[in-house]
Amino acid sequence: MKKKLVSLLLVGVLAMSAFVGCGSKDNSDASADATEDGAAAMYTSDDENTLTVAAWDANFNIPALEAAAEAYKDKNPDFKLEIIEQSQSKDIENAVTTAAEAGDYSNLPDIVLFQDHYFQQYVTNYPDAWQDVNDADVDWSDFGEEKLSFSTIDGKHYGLPVDNGTVIFAYRVDLLEECGYTLDDVTGITWDKFIEIGEQVYNKTGKYLLSMDGSGNDLPYMMLQAEGQSQFKDGKAVLADNDTLVKIIEKIETMQQKNVLLLENDWDGYTNDIQKDMVAGVMNGNWIIPTIEQVEENSGKWEITSMPTLSGEEGYASNGGSSLYITANCKKTDLAKDFLAYTFGGGEGAIDTYDNALRNGGVITTCISAGQSDVYQEGVPYFNNQAIYAKIVEMGSHVKVVEQSDYHYTVREKLSAAITNIHNGTSVKDALQQAQEEIDFAMED
């Protein structure tokens, strides 16, 4: 039995008590009923105009779904979307695992929100848990290829993208100016030039030009994707013999040595660096924007651009994001497909959906046409009146498709450890070889 299947089985056993008996039920119980771990009980509705969807994050994903439901009422005034709020994405993953291992999908809602990097793993292990949306009325060319690559399997579309994970590089332009630079000077540059500028920024201001969570270090992935390269080839992890990755890991260590990059021990340390005004630059998925905006006194001092690369071309990557998927339990598949196509899929309700999702939750569209609305063209005061949302959608269209794997997060863990070991004196070659051996073992049958 494959190790990943053993892992999922264990997850299912642990989650079983949380989701047993969560079948179809009257909506009057929806807000009151919850599982012991805090996740709301999942259910379906018998009403022909009602769909149920499980999602997490009351300040981000939920407002986007509410915006879509409201927009779809222009087409179907009787439509209702019952949102089953979960405390975290893992609650949904556990529910699917539990249902699949029990061979009973009746405990699932019509639609679930799923993290992009996890979905292919669940289709591989539980192909019967999903219904494809290949025949939905969607212009798939209206989305970036990279975003669709997560939800397209063997030529079939399984999901509709929701939020845009395009990476931004945000800079304190006032601090750059203090050091003699502009945003143009950090756009379309090499990592070597970035390090040179970062040294001067630190020496003059005492602030790092970049920081990251060292325990969940996404830097290697983002930097590698900007080069159009992957950590995987033909289903296998390629770390030690990946020349581009070796160069990137070397740049990361150089950035640390020269006080350009601050690697924190955990996520809280990373976000504190931003909120305590310790950095002059932030690079991550655009979902990091609300964290940047927490420092009110820095309003008007930030602007965004693309990433540096090894060659000096503008770099584009994506980190994070999620999509909506129809489960095997959905009996109103035509309604579900039409709702998703009309709203998140670029249909007539897409602009209203994404304009309000942006206003109320900060969710940025992956649908290119929806990103051309007047709302997206507006300047954002916090970012020096730059029209950052239109720019993010445009940048997202340039993100290159790279090979993905069920073991994305396992590789991230191994590379994070390798970067720490290198900083503590281990050679790059030895650290990456150790990471390679560990990931090879993890991926064995």
In a domain, 271, yes or no: yes
303 and 324 housed in the same domain: no
In a domain, 429, yes or no: yes
Helix, strand, or coil here: 43?
A: coil
Contact 110, 340 (CB under 8 A): no
Q: If you search the block for the tokens 């994404």, which residue do you land on? A: 354
In a domain, 273, yes or no: yes
91 and 206 housed in the same domain: no
The pLDDT, as a whole number, for residue 15 is: 37
180 and 302 housed in the same domain: yes
Contact 54, 87 (CB under 8 A): no
What is residue 113's DSSP assignment?
E
Question: 179-197: b or e for each residue (b if 16 or more CB lie within 10 Å)?
Answer: bebebeebbbbebeebbeb
69 and 125 housed in the same domain: yes
The pLDDT, as a whole number, for residue 3 is: 41
| Structure tokens, 288 | 């990091």
- Sign of the dihedral defined by the CA atoms of residues 190, 191, 192, 194, in that order: positive
CA distance 62 to 240: 41
Nearest CA-CA partner of 172 in 283, 294, 280, 284:
280
Q: Which CATH number goes with the domain that contains 66?
A: 3.40.190.10
246 and 303 housed in the same domain: yes
- Sign of the dihedral defined by the CA atoms of residues 146, 151, 152, 153, in that order: positive
144 and 212 housed in the same domain: no
Task: Give the domain extent around 278.
Answer: 167-317+401-442
| Structure tokens, 69 | 């439901």
337 and 354 housed in the same domain: yes
306 and 349 housed in the same domain: no
31 and 122 housed in the same domain: yes
pLDDT tens, the chain, 445 aa long: 334 443 443 333 333 333 333 333 333 333 335 554 567 889 899 999 999 999 999 989 999 999 999 999 999 999 999 999 999 999 999 999 999 999 999 999 999 999 998 898 899 899 999 999 999 999 999 999 999 999 999 999 999 999 999 999 999 999 999 999 999 999 999 999 999 999 999 999 999 999 999 988 999 999 999 999 999 999 999 999 999 999 999 999 999 999 999 999 999 999 999 999 999 999 999 989 989 998 999 999 999 999 999 999 999 999 988 999 999 999 999 999 999 999 999 999 999 999 999 999 899 999 999 999 999 999 999 999 999 999 999 999 999 999 988 899 899 999 999 999 999 999 999 999 999 999 999 998 6
In a domain, 427, yes or no: yes
Contact 188, 163 (CB under 8 A): no
Containing 98, the helix (H) or strand (E) segment is: helix 89-102
In a domain, 380, yes or no: no
CB atoms within 10 A of CB 56: 21
What is residue 166's DSSP assignment?
B
Helix axes 116-125, 89-102, angle to 10 degrees: 0
240 and 275 housed in the same domain: yes
Number of folded domains that form the chain: 2
In a domain, 396, yes or no: no
In a domain, 381, yes or no: no
Q: If you search the block for the tokens 């695992």, which residue do you land on? A: 97
CA distance 422 to 214: 13
CA distance 377 to 387: 6
147 and 109 housed in the same domain: yes
Nearest CA-CA partner of 261 in 309, 297, 306, 217:
217
Rounded to two decimals, the pTM is 0.84
16 and 159 housed in the same domain: yes
The pLDDT, as a whole number, for residue 35 is: 52
Put residue 417 in one of left, alpha, beta given phi > 0 → left and psi -120 to 50 → alpha: alpha
Length of the chain: 445
| Structure tokens, 108 | 């699932």
The pLDDT, as a whole number, for residue 215 is: 87
CA distance 56 to 64: 11
Containing 55, the helix (H) or strand (E) segment is: strand 50-56
In a domain, 393, yes or no: no
